[in-house]
């Protein structure tokens, strides 16, 4: 039975992974370590509360002593490292926390794993350090370039992707030099429940509901390769179960969209939902479709992101051939689930957005 430390488990993908793992592996011990930055949200972990095999610890991956203590006292054999500063725009505005958490923090985590699993009290037992990374480390593709493979040279362009690239190199080095059993996944853009509304899809959804502008950077023709978050979790599960020590695996959905097309697609879905459901329209009176208009009227082209990568696309051949990986969610079904989730979890995103999250938690859960 694996005994997992999931770092960053109160964030978007981490929380989805916690719920996925507890559902699929109900006998496994799972400890979440999360610093609860602005992006971490304990309410995203509410469904796990009460499960005796789940434990939440508030703390920083940079706190090596804390991580060592947790690995030993819980006899943990697996780390899944989601903890990171993850938003490109924030990395452009202020790169320091990206270096602190993504580079120095990941290194502290590696030192703790090495200390406990290779040299300390749990030495000699099987272990696995899985590092969750991104396709952004490979840089930007031209329109006719083949998608990224695991051997595409690293060419990170933002402080965020540079910090993730640095952490990937440290993970690789700890395997090559010390023999730590590591795996790394580089995944494309995720969407789904619990995503912080600074990222494109939840931001557009929530802005439509408020009748606020939908900001499109530059010409809107930048391309991302979108994957439903649970398909990412499934890919990590396969890597933990079957991945080679030292192995790197790309995870993606063969699902490239320009930003403007994806925003128009979302507008169409919300238009139809609000037009068909007077109760929903009454809940969101500022949304144009509630008044007979279209959400597309809110689309606003704005100044481009500095250094904005033009296109990402993942070639998932290795994951498919070595692990049997195949995404299960179509884009239409994944987006439908996502829109439904945001419409039915208004308190979650309102609390995240207006800063009254802690107050809301107290009211909802008596925490
Ligand atoms: P997120 O920003 O939603 O969540 C990050 C979580 O990490 C938060 O809960 C935060 O509190 C926690 N955290 C931050 N600094 C910490 C620290 N020093 N110690 C402990 N916890 C800390 O991020 P996400 O979108 O869920 O991304 C998770 C991981 O997946 C990241 O490593 C990211 O690079 C990678 N990734 C994300 C995507 C995507 O589309 N979102 C795609 C590919 C890879
Ligand atoms: O590719 C994987 C990466 O995907 C992850 O490593 C990152 O953690 C994650 O944040 C995401 O990065 P992006 O920069 O691609 O995601 P974001 O949602 O910020 O933007 C998606 C695209 O939409 C991008 O081309 C910028 C554009 N955009 C974004 C926002 C927030 C807009 O046009 N307007 C916006 O308001």
pLDDT in tens, 64-122: 999 999 999 999 999 999 999 999 999 999 999 999 999 999 999 999 999 999 999 89
Where exactly are the structural domains of the chain?
3-192+227-254+311-328
What dotted CATH number matches 3-192+227-254+311-328? 3.40.50.720
Q: Which atom of ligand 2 is nearest to the CA of 187?
A: 2
pLDDT of residue 355: 58
Average pLDDT in the chain: 95
Eight-class DSSP state of 120:
S
Ligand 2 pocket test: pick from 93, 217, 316 the residue with the most ligand atoms within 8 Å of its Cβ: 217
**Model pTM score:** 0.96
Alpha-carbon dihedral angle through residues 301, 302, 307, 311, given to the nearest 10 degrees: -20
In whole angstroms, give the CA distance from residue 162 to residue 200. 21
- Give the Å distances, CA to CA, from 189 to 29, 225, 231: 29, 6, 11
Cα 171 from chain centre: 19
Strand pairing of 189-191 and 223-228?
A: parallel
pLDDT of residue 363: 54
Nearest ligand to the CA of 198 is 2
In whole angstroms, give the CA distance from residue 194 to residue 191. 9
When pLDDT is averaged across residues 146-166 and rounded to a whole number, the result is 98
Eight-class DSSP state of 303:
P
Write the DSSP string, 49-77. TT-TTEEEEE--TT-HHHHHHHHHHTT--
Active site residues: 135-136, 160
Model confidence at 39: pLDDT above 70: yes
Instruction: Tell me the per-residue pLDDT of 2-19, one tens digit each, with 9 for 90 and over.
Output: 999 999 999 999 999 999
Look at ligand 2, atom 36, and give the residue with the nearest C-alpha. Answer: 215
Percent of the chain with pLDDT strictly greater than 70: 96
When pLDDT is averaged across residues 294-301 and rounded to a whole number, the result is 97
pLDDT of residue 71: 98
Model confidence at 356: pLDDT above 80: no
Q: Are 91 and 25 in contact (CB under 8 A)?
A: no
């Amino acid at each position: 039975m694996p005994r997992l430390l999931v770092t960053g488990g109160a964030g978007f993908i981490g929380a989805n992974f916690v719920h996925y793992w507890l559902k699929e592996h109900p006998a496994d011990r799972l400890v979440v370590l999360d610093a609860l930055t602005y992006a971490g949200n304990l309410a995203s972990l509410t469904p796990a509360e009460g499960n005796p095999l789940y434990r939440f610890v508030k703390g920083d991956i940079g706190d090596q002593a804390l991580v060592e203590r947790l690995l030993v006292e819980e006899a943990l054999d697996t780390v899944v490292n989601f903890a990171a500063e993850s938003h490109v725009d924030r990395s452009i505005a202020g790169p320091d926390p990206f270096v602190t958490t993504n580079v120095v923090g990941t290194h502290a985590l590696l030192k703790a794993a090495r200390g406990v699993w290779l040299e300390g009290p749990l030495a000699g037992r099987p272990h696995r350090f899985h590092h969750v990374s991104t396709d952004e480390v490979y840089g930007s593709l031209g329109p006719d370039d083949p998608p990224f493979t695991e051997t595409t040279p690293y060419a990170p362009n933002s402080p965020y992707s540079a910090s993730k690239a640095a952490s990937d190199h440290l993970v690789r080095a700890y395997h090559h030099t010390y023999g730590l059993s590591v795996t790394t996944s580089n995944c494309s853009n995720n969407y789904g429940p619990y995503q912080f509304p600074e990222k494109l899809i939840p931001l557009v959804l929530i802005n439509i509901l408020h009748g606020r502008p939908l900001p499109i950077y530059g010409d809107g023709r930048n391309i991302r390769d979108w994957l439903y978050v649970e398909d990412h979790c499934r890919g990590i599960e396969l890597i933990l179960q079957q991945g080679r020590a030292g192995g790197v695996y790309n995870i993606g959905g063969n699902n490239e969209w320009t930003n403007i097309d994806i925003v128009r697609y979302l507008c169409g879905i919300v238009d139809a939902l609000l037009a068909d459901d007077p109760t929903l329209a009454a809940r969101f009176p500022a949304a144009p479709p509630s008044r007979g208009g279209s959400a597309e009227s809110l689309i606003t082209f704005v100044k481009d992101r500095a250094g904005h990568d033009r296109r990402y696309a993942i070639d998932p051949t290795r994951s498919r051939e070595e692990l049997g990986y195949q995404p299960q969610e179509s884009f239409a079904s994944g987006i439908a689930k996502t829109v439904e989730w945001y419409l039915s979890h208004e308190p979650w995103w309102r609390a995240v957005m207006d800063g009254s999250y802690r107050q809301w938690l107290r009211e909802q859960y008596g925490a």
